[in-house]
């Protein structure tokens, strides 16, 4: 139990579907992140939210739409995805978004997404 909970753990969706991934952190952190992990590739940072404000969007296609209604919850809305978007999507949180030393990022268990 890392204090960061993701649902669903597994999701299969068609290319025309709309679905959402949900993340909740119970650590009192101020920053939340979405990472994508594809096979044989490094973790890719997708979005960073600091105090509910998006502070980084790493050139992610618009078919991925994040939402952060409060500092404890983060969503990733998915629509018209492609098969190459199939990956493990990891949510993470940290205490201080400003990047001071010692600021550890904690990951959730991830959501395995398969686009068919």
Partner 1 sequence: QKEVEQNSGPLSVPEGAIASLNCTYSDRGSQSFFWYRQYSGKSPELIMSIYSNGDKEDGRFTAQLNKASQYVSLLIRDSQPSDSATYLCAVKNPGGYNKLIFGAGTRLAVHP
By CB under 8 A, name the binding residues for partner 1: 2, 31, 40-43, 45, 48, 50, 55-56, 90, 94, 96-99, 101-110
Number of neighbouring beta carbons within 10 Å of residue 53:
9
Distance (Å, whole) CA 70 – CA 44 = 23
Quote the least distance from Cβ 64 to partner 1, whole Å. 18
Q: CB–CB of 23/74 below 8 Å?
A: yes
Give least dist CB 56 to partner 1, A.
Answer: 6
Q: 70 or 103: whose CB is closer to partner 1?
A: 103
């Amino acid at each position: 139990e890392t204090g960061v909970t993701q649902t669903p753990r597994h999701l299969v969706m068609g290319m025309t579907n709309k679905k959402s991934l949900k993340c909740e952190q119970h650590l009192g952190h101020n920053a939340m992140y979405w990472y994508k992990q594809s096979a044989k590739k490094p973790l890719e940072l997708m979005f960073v939210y600091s105090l509910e404000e998006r502070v980084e969007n790493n050139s992610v296609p618009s078919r991925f739409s994040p939402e952060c209604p409060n500092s404890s919850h983060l969503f990733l809305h998915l629509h018209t995805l492609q098969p190459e978007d199939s990956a493990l999507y990891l949510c993470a949180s940290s205490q201080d978004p400003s990047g001071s030393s010692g600021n550890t990022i904690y990951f959730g268990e991830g959501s395995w997404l398969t686009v068919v």
